[in-house]
Amino acid sequence: METPSYTSPCAEAAARLRAASTVHVVHHWDADGLASAAIIERYLRKWKGRATYAVPEIGGYSAKAVRPPPQPVDEFVLVDYGIPPEEVAKIGEVSGKGVIIFDHHASGVRGEGKCNPISYGDGWEDWSAAAVVIAEAAGIRPEGWEELAALAVYGDVGFEGLMRKPHLLSAAFRAGLRAEELERAARYVNSCYRAVDYACVEAAREELAEGGVWAVLRDGYLAAREAEVCAEVDRGVDEALSSAEIAGEGITLYRARLRAYVVSAVGRRLSKVLGNGVAVLVAYVEPMKRWYLYARSQNRIIKDAIHALRNAGYGAGGKDKVVSTPCVEEGCRGELSTLIRALTRDL
């Protein structure tokens, strides 16, 4: 079999980590990003590297969202953070030296120290989490990496995704972690970014690095954070329901001010309550001081609206039945009228 083309950049990334005495790791704020950073943390401890860790500004995807380390470091690492090549280049300029990357997003980022099999044409199913890339493409496998990788895969693609990684699934089972525990652990660690709480993100990563998934499950602070976020979803849904108005045929518009970054969780619930039709949520997220537009349908394919928004210059994303975009305008005015027009047109 031919050696895959990502082998050499991935091996180089791992070798540079081993050789460095100071490393700054910037990782995504979700379960995969946290588990990936914890795997790297365990690895660096073994090699006696001194490392600092940080997440980008939560909700931001650009070089600007990534703060440089306070002191110069030997290596600057980006983990599970799928920003495009031109943004990576800007970070490279700041750090003075090329950035090391471990990722599985279709970012198109390649080259020395850029370990991302997807950028080299590999399939997404094989690389369902950045943690899998770190362990299986770069060979970074410190003690206990499997259960961390299992959490990462669960966080990104759920239990079905984990079933495509039988070795991780059985390692998790051996550690006493069933789907229920992995689901709860993912919910706990993800409540940190939903609460826009950086200290919580830090604590979650430390727990994972020190004691693994079970340490997270036993952490009272994380449990309390999760309960708060959960209550804010309930409150947000209530507030949104009381603002419901008809915005077009089969389109219901909701508004809410949210004290946590739970736009998609609230939008998903509204769509379920609505049943058929399209639920459109305009939300102001207080801790982030930003507006978001989110649309979801149980029965209609609405992805054409993503293209309409993008054509109008908005950075929308989504899936077949989900459309979402951070808004540039207060109240999402421009974004909302573009979305409603697109939804009404293709009825």
Residues that bind Mn ion (CB under 5 A): 32, 80, 130, 156
Residue nearest to Mn ion (CB): 32
DSSP letter (8 states) at residue 106:
S
Least spacing, CB of residue 322 vs Mn ion, in Å: 18
Decide the pairing of beta strands 317-319 and 322-326: antiparallel
Instruction: Identify which of residues 80 and 197 has a Cβ nearer to Mn ion in the complex.
Output: 80
The DSSP-derived string for 313-324 is: T---EEETTEEE
Decide the pairing of beta strands 22-27 and 278-285: unpaired
CA distances from 313 to 34, 185, 264 (A): 32, 37, 22
- Shortest CA distance to 11 belongs to which of 78, 100, 144, 88? 100
Instruction: Identify which of residues 185 and 251 has a Cβ nearer to Mn ion in the complex.
Output: 185
- Shortest CA distance to 230 belongs to which of 283, 273, 284, 187? 187
Least spacing, CB of residue 31 vs Mn ion, in Å: 8
Instruction: Identify which of residues 140 and 339 has a Cβ nearer to Mn ion in the complex.
Output: 140
- Order the strands of the 278-285 sheet from edge to edge: 245-248, 251-258, 278-285, 290-297, 322-326, 317-319
Distance of CA 68 to the CA centre of its chain: 20
Least spacing, CB of residue 102 vs Mn ion, in Å: 10
Least spacing, CB of residue 157 vs Mn ion, in Å: 9
Burial (CB count within 10 angstroms: exposed 0-12, middle 13-18, buried 19+), residue 249 = exposed
Helices 31-46 and 145-163, interaxial angle, to 10°? 150
Burial (CB count within 10 angstroms: exposed 0-12, middle 13-18, buried 19+), residue 221 = middle
Instruction: Identify which of residues 80 and 136 has a Cβ nearer to Mn ion in the complex.
Output: 80
Least spacing, CB of residue 210 vs Mn ion, in Å: 22
Least spacing, CB of residue 104 vs Mn ion, in Å: 6
Instruction: Identify which of residues 132 and 256 has a Cβ nearer to Mn ion in the complex.
Output: 132
Instruction: Identify which of residues 75 and 80 has a Cβ nearer to Mn ion in the complex.
Output: 80
Least spacing, CB of residue 51 vs Mn ion, in Å: 20
Instruction: Identify which of residues 75 and 156 has a Cβ nearer to Mn ion in the complex.
Output: 156
CB 294 within 8 A of CB 321: no
Instruction: Identify which of residues 118 and 343 has a Cβ nearer to Mn ion in the complex.
Output: 118
- Shortest CA distance to 187 belongs to which of 204, 203, 175? 204
Least spacing, CB of residue 80 vs Mn ion, in Å: 4
